[in-house]
Amino acid sequence: MGSCLQKTAERRSLDRPEDHKIQLCWEISSCNKKNMRSFSELPKEITLEIFSRLPIPSLLICKLVCKRWNTAIAEPVLATMQLANAADQSLCLVLHSEFPKFVLYNVFVNDLGCPCKEWKRLKLPFRQTLSRFEVVGSCNGLLCVSHYELDDPVLIYNHLTWDYKQLPNKGGEHLKGNVYRCVFGFGFDPKTMVYKVIKIVHYAGSSSEVLDVNRKPDVYVVTLGSEEWTYKGQTHYQLTGSSSEAIVNGKFHWLTHYNFLEAGKCQDIISFDLSTEIFQELPRPDFEGLMKHTCHLVTLKGVLSAVISYDDGTHEIWKMKDYNVKDSWSRECVIGKYVPRIFITFGMFNSYPGRGSIDGYRKHKFQVICILSNGEILLLYENQALVSYNAETGKFKDLKIKGQRFEYLLTLHTGSIISVNAAFDMHG
């Protein structure tokens, strides 16, 4: 097996840094028993350090080399080390398509420029438990997945190891059909060293498609490993989206629902602290984008950012360089009008029947995803076309990936080999 795998490794292109690393691993693990014995004699901490610096695709291949490597890679501490040492190399996009049926795909961000790359369809071992679903959170290699329409069940899933675990059902009044939408947040509290999920239940008015702005949402929090949700009372904030779009400084962030009946009222930026479990309003930048134009939040290089989309097709990126300091907001980038080639060639795909028209659905005409390793900005148009943008040259590049879906939602995700059970066991 070792010889076969080594030959496969030698045929790989060495254009990327991780390919050089994995070639080194194959050389270390050659069929020569002496070399294999030499590697096995390395101290355990050095072995784990070597593995922790490999990107996830390479690490998964290394599991196949021999039983000893497979055992070492299964060490729980390696997952933590890998997140610290190779998180950027393991950054991927999880694509969620709801038509013709609910499926997930992924592609690693570093592979976006490779013409041979394609969306890889993910295994869904929870299909019988949750056939209609959406991804509502991502943290340290784990995905939080909820029901498409209801707020139960909710589960935690690792798409690389294929293991998952369901959170306790909350039950209650909102299951009787008067729920309008649920807003989620999933993250890790570094102070208590546990994972938490927040669920904010918004209620419908006279019609199931109309938000009751007069009824305060209910707030629930659960720690992974606990047996029930904790009711945290009500909040007067009506939040947009189905999940937190930005996590900074251990806090979730959302925009409030825009009420057209309140003239001159801007959307507020709201945070929820994972440790204190308290909501807080953050200072807004001094522009009218939160009142007259489409806006969404995003984390860019660890900084809370607001993206403003104007009616003329241009967009602005504002960053809060010093967290919670109003004067630190500054306009970092202006993105000009652009029409992706796929729309010119085929026209824009019509949205399939679904929740695209319901307020709070995580669908944007324009979305900033992240900043790539080469400094370019990854953009998503109409939930259909991926484009990279060079802010220095002002040039756009359409990204073609095999297996393209007609319309989809994207979640920026860091791949990890962390065990779902280990995440639940962190709760004392």
Residue 119: which pLDDT band, with cuts at 50, 70 and 90? confident
* pLDDT band with cut points at 50, 70 and 90 for residue 348: low
Residue 344 is predicted with a pLDDT of 81
CB atoms within 10 A of CB 132: 11
How far, CA to CA in Å, does 114 sit from each of 170, 381, 413? 44, 20, 19
pLDDT score of 393: 96
Cβ partners under 8 Å of residue 33, min gap 6: none
- Give the SS3 label for residue 256: strand
How buried is 195 (Cβ within 10 angstroms: 0-12 exposed, 13-18 middle, 19+ buried)?
Answer: buried
Q: Measuring CA to CA, how many Å separate 396 from each of 20, 116, 387, 399?
A: 30, 20, 7, 10
Task: Decide if pLDDT at 9 tops 50.
Answer: no
Peptide bond between residue 340 and the one before it cis (omega within 30 degrees of 0) = no
Q: What is the DSSP letter of 64?
A: T
pLDDT level of residue 387 (50, 70, 90 thresholds): very high
Only one residue has tokens 């961000």, namely: 109
For residue 195, give both structure tokens: 């994972």
Strand, coil or helix: 142: strand
Taking residues 3-8, what's their average pLDDT?
A: 42
Average per-residue pLDDT for the chain? 81
Q: How far is CA 120 from the centre of its chain?
A: 16
Residue of 139, 132, 171 whose CA lies nearest to 156: 139
CA angle 189, 191, 192 (to 5 degrees): 75
Pairwise CA distance, residues 80 & 83, whole Å? 5
> CB neighbours of 39 closer than 8 A, spacing ≥ 6?
28, 29, 47
Q: Where is average pLDDT lowest: 167-181, 191-205, 269-283, 289-303?
A: 167-181
150 or 423, which is more confident: 423
Q: Is the model's pLDDT at 102 over the cut of 90? A: no
State residue 242's pLDDT score: 82
Specify the pLDDT at position 224: 96
* Mean pLDDT calculated for residue range 228-248: 90
* 426 pLDDT tier (thresholds 50, 70, 90): confident
Q: Does 376 score more than 70 pLDDT?
A: yes
Q: Which of 180, 92, 98 is nearest to 134 (CA)?
A: 98
SS3 251: strand
pLDDT bin (cut points 50, 70, 90) of residue 70 is confident
pLDDT recorded at residue 35: 54
> Model's pTM, two decimal places?
0.83
DSSP string, 103-135: EEEEEEGGGTT-TT-BPEEPP-TTTTT-SSEEE
**What architecture is domain 88-425?**
6 Propeller (2.120)
Confidence tier at 27 by pLDDT (50, 70, 90): low
DSSP label of 357? T
Strand ranges in 39-84 using DSSP code E only, listed in sequence order: none
Phi, psi for 299 (deg, rounded to 5) = -95, 120
> pLDDT grade, residue 251 (50/70/90)?
very high
Domain ranges of the chain: 2-86, 88-425
- Is residue 19 very low, low, confident or very high in pLDDT (cuts 50, 70, 90)? low
Between these two residues, 357 and 264, which has the higher pLDDT value? 264
pLDDT of 3: 43
Q: Is 110's pLDDT higher than 80?
A: no
